[in-house]
Chain A
Amino acid sequence: ETGVTQSPTHLIKTRGQQVTLRCSSQSGHNTVSWYQQALGQGPQFIFQYYREEENGRGNFPPRFSGLQFPNYSSELNVNALELDDSALYLCASSRQDKNTGELFFGEGSRLTVL
């Protein structure tokens, strides 16, 4: 069974730039959720994708956007980067038909904005 994989693992950007983070879901999982984890904090929900559509969104501005592809993989795009966007971005996959709230996380993408 293939777990959740994320890329890149680390990246550095400057203010105003744009970034794309990628995630491959665990085999058998059809739902992808993205979380932002700032240093010393718990993960904050950004949005969830199911059947290639946004299925829920947290309190993040529109410059945070996403996509889900037919193979259930997903992208997180952030435009006009700000210093406060520096964080660990976590992707988690799950099965929509198994409604338990259980999430299976990748190792994350560490974004630093200078």
Chain B
Amino acid sequence: TQLLEQSPQFLSIQEGENLTVYCNSSSVFSSLQWYRQEPGEGPVLLVTVVTGGEVKKLKRLTFQFGDARKDSSLHITAAQPGDTGLYLCAGSGGSYIPTFGRGTSLIVHP
């Protein structure tokens, strides 16, 4: 079983601050996804990374896949209240059945 550790578990910041969320494993992944989940809803896919060292940007969000494809980070620039939610990373091996981390709960205060 591939285990994914996410840190920090909780993050409470003011609007305009920057933050980074980490996703780490001892396993190598064929692909890794980041999702955002709001209360009472299912996770929504943000991005997929597949190549070691890959960097993808989605507006104020920057995603990086580690060179060894064992870890990933999500950086948010100038956070806004609309960024509030649970951020989940999920990694897949050869079977492409994803294993999820526990998530980072982010609250951005106006």
Contact = CB atoms under 8 A, between A and B. Distances in A.
**Most chain A beta-carbon contacts within 10 A, residue among B4, B33, B97:** B97
Contacts of A44: 100
A101 B48 contact: yes
Interface residues of A, number: 25
Interface of chain A, main secondary structure? loop
Interface string A74-95: 0000000000000000101000
Range, interface on chain B? 20 to 34
A45 B42 CA distance: 14
B66 interface: no
A93 to B, nearest CB: 11
A48 B47 CA distance: 22
Contacts of A90: 42-43
Contacts of B50: 100
